[in-house]
Amino acid sequence: MSDQRPVAKTVHFVSLGCPKNRVDTEVMLGHTADAGYKVVAEAEDAEIIVVNTCGFIGEAKQESIDAILSMARFKESGSCKRLVVAGCLSQRYPKELADEMPEVDHLIGTDEVGLIADAIAGKTSRVHVAETPRFLYDDLAPRRPSMALHTAYVKIAEGCDRPCAFCIIPKLRGPQRSRTPDSVVREAASLAAAGTREICLVAQDLTTYGTDLPDAKAPGAPELSSLLAQLAAVEGLRWIRLHYAYPTAVTDGLLGVMARESRVAKYLDVPLQHIDDAVLKSMRRGHGSRLVRELVERVRTQVPGATLRTTFIVGHPGETEQAFERLCAFVREAELDRVGVFNYSHEEGTTAAILPGRVPAKEIDARRRELLRIQREISRKKQRAMKGQEIEVLVEGPSDESEYVLMGRHEGQAPEIDGQVYLTLAGDQAPKAGDFVRARVTGSAEYDLSAEVVEILDAVRPQAQSSAASPARRPGGHLRVV
């Protein structure tokens, strides 16, 4: 990259997809700011626009294409001089995008995060996409937050070696590669010093963390449970949240750390995907229904009060009506706390794409609606049972519905994917974003709670509060970075 700094050119970022992609966007933001560019919140104010795309499933691909075309209109109007497309869609379809979207000036893949400043400056080839991604950020990467500072995602590993039939991620993100424990802890400590109270650990598979490091087979080798113990000692953190644990790799050691470390949130995100043995086999998940049932029981026994989140895929090739009914019966029986449901997406390049037994799209939609209906009833019941309880809540700021109400989340609610707690104040209480409060639940809906603040438990440090960034969102889930 050239040492010559630009004359304050303006750049706007649109970030799509998962939290792992958001981390990449924040690293690209850091490189962009370090190169002397000014990041702006509105696309119409930008001379350069970057769209960090998702290419995981059909809906995500379409959203990315729509976002690219939407941003390309600013080139037509003359305000935008360069359009850069990054991320998973570029990684997956570099030639197709280059051929079909002449309005895109540069395409970079998931391995080129560190080259964003060169792409913005027009100093890379039009298509710059490595065949096998190897990029892995660390604590030295220039990362600029795009969320309020009290919450941050920390990616502890990149890529995946799992052979799941329906998944294209290993081809988009490359093989498993873990950061060193020291790097993760240093980043967490830096975030905490800046005012972060909650970190959400993300990876394609948290539970394979460390298995690829040089000393992976040595006694005391790094693993997720030992990393959590180190993170729990970081001063200033209050919640350490786990996302994307693989069912076969949730060990008793991991559950033990969750149970005894007060800073490790009693929250576990485990994508179960299905319960039917034949479907699990065709998905190439490496386990059957018995392990799934035993896992749910182990989590609830070893980590009392834990919130268990999962996702299921409906309509996978070979999913019969009977298999779907078994899934419905399991959801009723298990009464899981949080459930997301995805329609099977036919993705070229995956093993599932060549399997027989395709389920019609209309039937897939119907199955998704039915499974969500079942879970809504379970969620309503669980939410109603919380009325009168006192809970700890992380305050996130003013409600988007009323200036007289605050909103936040309790330990069982992860950012962006779970519900909210809407807080009313009693007396002269004045909690701020980043504060932890004790609140009494007064009402409930399907996914949200209402509660009255009882007391402030742990106030954010003034210097962190004053420097906290304000996240802003575009309609449809896009991210505006300010």
pLDDT tens-digit profile of 168-213? Answer: 999 999 999 999 999 999 999 999 999 999 999 999 999 999 999 9
Which of helix, strand or coil describes residue 22?
A: helix
Q: Count of CB atoms within 10 A of residue 277's CB?
A: 15
| pLDDT for 459 | 77
* Burial annotation 120-130 (CB, 10 A radius, 16+ → b, else e): bbeebeeebbe
Q: Count of CB atoms within 10 A of residue 426's CB?
A: 11
From 339, 261, 325, 264, select the one nearest 296 (Cα to Cα).
339
DSSP string, 148-194: -TTEEEEE-EE------TT--HHHHH-S-EEPPHHHHHHHHHHHHHT
Which of helix, strand or coil describes residue 281?
A: helix
| pLDDT for 474 | 33
Architecture in CATH for domain 10-132: 3-Layer(aba) Sandwich (3.40)
| pLDDT for 467 | 37
Structure tokens at 152: 């941050």
Are the CB atoms for 224 and 157 separated by under 8 Å?
Answer: no
Give the position of tokens 């106030």. Answer: 459
Mean pLDDT by 10 residues, the chain (482 residues): 61 95 96 95 95 93 96 90 96 96 96 96 95 94 91 96 95 95 97 95 96 87 95 96 95 96 96 98 97 97 97 98 98 97 95 96 98 97 96 91 84 94 84 93 94 87 43 32 28
| pLDDT for 479 | 33
Architecture in CATH for domain 390-458: Beta Barrel (2.40)
User: Which residue type does 466 have?
Assistant: S
DSSP string, 208-243: GTTTTSTTTTSTT---HHHHHHHHTTSTT--EEEE-
User: Which residue type does 375 have?
Assistant: Q
Q: How big is the chain, counted in residues?
A: 482
- Do the bridges between strand 38-39 and strand 48-53 make them parallel or antiparallel, or are there none, so unpaired? unpaired
- DSSP class of 337: S
Q: What is the pLDDT of residues 99-116, one digit of tens each?
A: 999 999 999 999 999 999
Q: What are phi and psi of 323, to 5 degrees?
A: -65, -40
User: Which residue type does 142 have?
Assistant: P
Q: What angle do CA 452, 454, 457 make, to 5 degrees?
A: 125
Are the CB atoms for 479 and 469 separated by under 8 Å?
Answer: no
Q: What are phi and psi of 168, to 5 degrees?
A: -100, -5
The residues, any chain, with a CB within 8 Å of residue 479's CB and separated by 6 or more, are: 13, 14, 15, 16, 22, 25, 146, 471, 473
| pLDDT for 147 | 84
Cα separation values, 127 from 5, 69, 86, 134, 441, Å: 23, 18, 10, 17, 53
Q: How far apart are CA 245 and CA 235, in angstroms?
A: 25
| pLDDT for 120 | 96
From 97, 134, 113, select the one nearest 25 (Cα to Cα).
113
Q: How far apart are CA 42 and CA 11, in angstroms?
A: 9
Are the CB atoms for 468 and 433 separated by under 8 Å?
Answer: yes
Q: How far apart are CA 296 and CA 116, in angstroms?
A: 43
- DSSP class of 43: G
**Is residue 349 classed exposed, middle or buried when 0-12, 13-18 and 19+ CB atoms within 10 A define those classes?**
exposed
Are the CB atoms for 215 and 168 separated by under 8 Å?
Answer: no
Domains 10-132 and 151-384 share a fold: no
Q: How far apart are CA 453 and CA 426, in angstroms?
A: 6
- DSSP class of 199: E
Report helix, strand and coil shares of the chain as percent, to nearest 5: 35, 20, 45
Tell me the domain boundaries of the chain.
10-132, 151-384, 390-458
| pLDDT for 360 | 97
DSSP string, 300-323: HHHSTT-EEEEEEEES-TT--HHH
| pLDDT for 471 | 29
From 344, 354, 249, select the one nearest 56 (Cα to Cα).
344
From 415, 464, 457, select the one nearest 196 (Cα to Cα).
464
From 79, 73, 11, 68, select the one nearest 44 (Cα to Cα).
79
CATH of domain 151-384: 3.80.30.20
Give the position of tokens 């893949």. Answer: 109
Structure tokens at 420: 């909210």
Q: How far apart are CA 349 and CA 96, in angstroms?
A: 15
